């Protein structure tokens, strides 16, 4: 009998990444990296021919910031990373692949070879970002069995911890949980219903460019301005000094979570200072960031059709929820004591490992221990032209927060006799104007059967998988025509590039499981 592959879950975070595995008893455990740490900083240092990921890269931020790629997750879905490194432009998913590769190599040294993994993404990630994350996994030498949403993974870890998932789990009534997830670079809020072993998302929203990193930035500004008032010099103007200051401020932010004040050492152009920062100053300087999360939280609850009285628990996930201002705000809003019982940094990876275990068991025909029901975080639409204004409009086909999987059909009509092709542009977003939405890709329908009269119907089916990934299928009614549909994605690396990077990053040959 072949050996059962390990159940591995990866939380690929903006600032830190974590790998977890189910042990023999089926319990999730964090795997340590080569340095012996549970958390691997998600930074990449390009040092001549060498690519160094993790702690060393984080240290290098203070001395050679121009060679370090940080927060690549924030740029995922864009064509290139926001800064050129050594004059080279990298796609963000390639930087993510280097991080994943380090996690693979380090954990392989401990548990042996494996390929199948589950990777987590913010619930608010759109289709393009989900695809890019899967591609990063492929380039790092993994077979990505699935991607799941971080808040869902956290809720699974929570359910596991509470015994909901054990075979003799005690009977209980449905519980409404609001998962507030403030990580290093992203913010997600998801309202879930936990019923027995079913985890059902009711609504989700968030901001892919809001996280602890923004709080750091405010502290950097606060400290740099205080230093500038004393010495008429601004450490932010020099990349190295700014990198060092950023590290000091991130440390100081953590201290301010437990103390009312702290000092940040600054050393720039021969001048030194110890700048005092109080928690109150820090909170005032970041109040608007917190307000943005409050606004989104309330909006998500409304989208789920609920009020605070219906919420049984507010679950805190992500390192930045350790800030007292977050807890205080949620306490006031909900009237509940926020639940920090899941390990903020590791719960997501643990939930992903439990999900990986579920998928492996399913592939062997074993019963499923729990069920996940997801919703889409963005509306899916097709571009049409407004006959009056001639503007490009977003015709929504699948509204946001629709339970997944789902399939929607849209009927297009040919415009002239014997038309052989149709181009369908697919967008994600809420705006009625197509240009304000994210273009996912263009679906060109070719080889329509010859001789179709004008105005013949062409059915286009959009199928959203439970993980938020999209498939498109086309049919012409009353014909058996096999129609070629090519979904050409925007900002997505072609298969040859993925294969080339895979070979370069992990030395593995191409496979067809992208």
Which residues are at the interface with ligand AMP (CB under 6 A)?
13-16, 183-184, 211-213, 250, 253-254, 257, 318-320, 322-323, 345
Contacts of residue 484, Cβ cutoff 8 Å, sequence gap at least 6: 445, 446, 447
Q: In angstroms, what is the minimal distance from the CB of 508 to ligand AMP?
A: 28
CB 164 within 8 A of CB 177: no
Query: Pick from 384, 457, 468, 443: which is nearest to 415 by CA?
Result: 457
Q: In angstroms, what is the minimal distance from the CB of 434 to ligand AMP?
A: 33
CB 192 within 8 A of CB 364: no
Q: In angstroms, what is the minimal distance from the CB of 39 to ligand AMP?
A: 7
Q: What angle do CA 358, 359, 364 make, to 5 degrees?
A: 100
Measuring CA to CA, how many Å separate 9 from each of 114, 138, 188, 323, 508? 12, 15, 19, 27, 21
Q: In angstroms, what is the minimal distance from the CB of 348 to ligand AMP?
A: 7
**Beta-bridge mates of residue 46:** 51
Cβ count within 10 A of residue 3 = 6
Helix (H) or strand (E) holding 279: helix 279-303
Q: In angstroms, what is the minimal distance from the CB of 4 to ligand AMP?
A: 30
Q: Which two tokens stand for residue 367?
A: 């019963």
Which letter does DSSP use for residue 316 in this model? E
Query: Pick from 96, 102, 105: which is nearest to 69 by CA?
Result: 96
Q: In angstroms, what is the minimal distance from the CB of 489 to ligand AMP?
A: 27
Task: Choose between 54 and 319: whose C-beta lies nearer to ligand AMP.
Answer: 319
Measuring CA to CA, how many Å separate 236 from each of 220, 242, 245? 8, 5, 8
Q: In angstroms, what is the minimal distance from the CB of 289 to ligand AMP?
A: 12
Assign residue 26 a region (left: φ > 0; alpha: ψ between -120 and 50; beta: otherwise): left
Task: Choose between 320 and 397: whose C-beta lies nearer to ligand AMP.
Answer: 320
Strands 313-317 and 175-182: parallel
Q: In angstroms, what is the minimal distance from the CB of 491 to ligand AMP?
A: 24
Round to whole Å and give the CA distance between 495 and 493: 7
Q: In angstroms, what is the minimal distance from the CB of 78 to ligand AMP?
A: 20
**Beta-bridge mates of residue 474:** 460
Q: In angstroms, what is the minimal distance from the CB of 152 to ligand AMP?
A: 15
Mapped onto helix, strand or coil, the DSSP state of residue 210 is coil
Q: Which two tokens stand for residue 226?
A: 């205080």
Round to whole Å and give the CA distance between 177 and 293: 17
Task: Choose between 289 and 483: whose C-beta lies nearer to ligand AMP.
Answer: 289
Sign of torsion over alpha carbons 245, 249, 250, 252: positive
Task: Choose between 323 and 426: whose C-beta lies nearer to ligand AMP.
Answer: 323
Task: Choose between 13 and 357: whose C-beta lies nearer to ligand AMP.
Answer: 13
* Cis-peptide, bond into residue 486, ω within 30° of zero: no
Q: In angstroms, what is the minimal distance from the CB of 398 to ligand AMP?
A: 29
Task: Choose between 14 and 107: whose C-beta lies nearer to ligand AMP.
Answer: 14
Query: Pick from 449, 447, 442: which is nearest to 423 by CA?
Result: 442
Task: Choose between 259 and 471: whose C-beta lies nearer to ligand AMP.
Answer: 259
Task: Choose between 13 and 137: whose C-beta lies nearer to ligand AMP.
Answer: 13
CB 209 within 8 A of CB 147: no
Task: Choose between 77 and 212: whose C-beta lies nearer to ligand AMP.
Answer: 212
Q: In angstroms, what is the minimal distance from the CB of 17 to ligand AMP?
A: 8
Round to whole Å and give the CA distance between 446 and 187: 40
Q: In angstroms, what is the minimal distance from the CB of 453 to ligand AMP?
A: 57
Round to whole Å and give the CA distance between 158 and 348: 10
Assign residue 451 a region (left: φ > 0; alpha: ψ between -120 and 50; beta: otherwise): left
Task: Choose between 93 and 216: whose C-beta lies nearer to ligand AMP.
Answer: 216
Task: Choose between 319 and 429: whose C-beta lies nearer to ligand AMP.
Answer: 319
Task: Choose between 120 and 376: whose C-beta lies nearer to ligand AMP.
Answer: 120
| Residue showing tokens 């019923």 | 195
Task: Choose between 178 and 437: whose C-beta lies nearer to ligand AMP.
Answer: 178
Round to whole Å and give the CA distance between 60 and 105: 21
């Amino acid at each position: 009998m072949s050996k059962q592959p390990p159940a591995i879950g990866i939380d690929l975070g903006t600032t830190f990444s974590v790998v977890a595995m189910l042990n023999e008893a089926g319990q999730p455990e964090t795997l340590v990296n080569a340095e012996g740490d549970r958390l691997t900083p998600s930074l990449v240092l390009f040092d001549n021919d060498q690519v160094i990921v993790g702690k060393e890269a984080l240290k290098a931020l203070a001395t050679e910031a121009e060679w370090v790629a940080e927060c690549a997750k924030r740029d995922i879905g864009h064509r290139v990373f926001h800064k050129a490194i050594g004059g080279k432009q990298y796609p963000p998913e390639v930087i993510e692949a280097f991080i994943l590769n380090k996690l693979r190599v380090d954990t392989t040294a401990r548990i042996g070879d494996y390929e199948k993994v589950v990777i987590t993404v913010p619930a608010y990630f759109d289709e393009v970002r989900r695809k890019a994350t899967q591609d990063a996994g492929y380039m790092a030498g993994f077979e990505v069995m699935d991607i799941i949403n971080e808040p869902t993974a956290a809720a699974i870890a929570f359910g596991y911890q509470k015994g909901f998932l054990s075979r003799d789990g005690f009977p209980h009534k449905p519980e409404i949980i609001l998962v507030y997830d403030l990580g290093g670079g992203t913010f997600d809020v998801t309202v879930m219903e936990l019923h027995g072993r079913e985890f059902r998302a009711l609504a989700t929203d968030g901001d892919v460019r809001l996280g602890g990193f923004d709080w750091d930035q405010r502290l950097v500004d606060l400290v740099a301005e205080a230093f500038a008032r004393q010495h008429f010099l601004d450490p932010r103007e020099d990349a190295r000094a700014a990198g060092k200051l950023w590290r000091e401020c991130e440390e100081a932010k953590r201290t301010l979570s437990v103390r009312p004040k702290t000092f940040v050492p600054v050393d720039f152009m021969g001048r030194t200072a110890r700048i005092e920062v109080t928690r109150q100053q820090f909170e005032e300087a970041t109040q608007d960031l917190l307000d943005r999360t409050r606004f989104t939280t309330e909006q998500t609850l409304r989208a789920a059709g609920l009020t605070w009285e219906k919420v049984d628990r507010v679950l805190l996930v992500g390192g930045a929820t350790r800030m007292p201002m977050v807890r205080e705000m949620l306490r006031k809003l909900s009237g509940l004591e926020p639940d920090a019982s899941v390990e903020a940094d590791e719960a997501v990876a643990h939930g992903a490992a439990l999900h990986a275990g579920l998928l492996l068991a399913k592939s062997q025909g074993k019963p499923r221990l729990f069920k996940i029901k997801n919703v889409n975080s963005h509306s899916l639409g097709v571009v049409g032209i407004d006959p009056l204004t001639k503007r490009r409009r977003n015709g929504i086909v699948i509204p946001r927060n629709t339970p997944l999987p789902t399939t929607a059909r849209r009927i297009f009509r040919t415009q002239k006799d014997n038309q052989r092709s149709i181009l369908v542009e697919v967008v994600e977003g809420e705006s009625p104007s197509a240009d304000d939405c994210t273009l996912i890709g263009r679906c060109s329908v070719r080889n329509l059967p010859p001789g179709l009269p004008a105005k013949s119907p062409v059915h286009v089916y959009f199928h959203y998988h439970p993980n938020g990934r999209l498939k498109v299928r086309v049919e012409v009614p009353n014909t058996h025509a096999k129609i070629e549909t090519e979904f050409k994605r925007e900002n997505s690396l072609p298969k040859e590039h993925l294969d080339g990077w895979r070979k370069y990053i992990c030395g593995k040959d191409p496979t067809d499981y992208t």
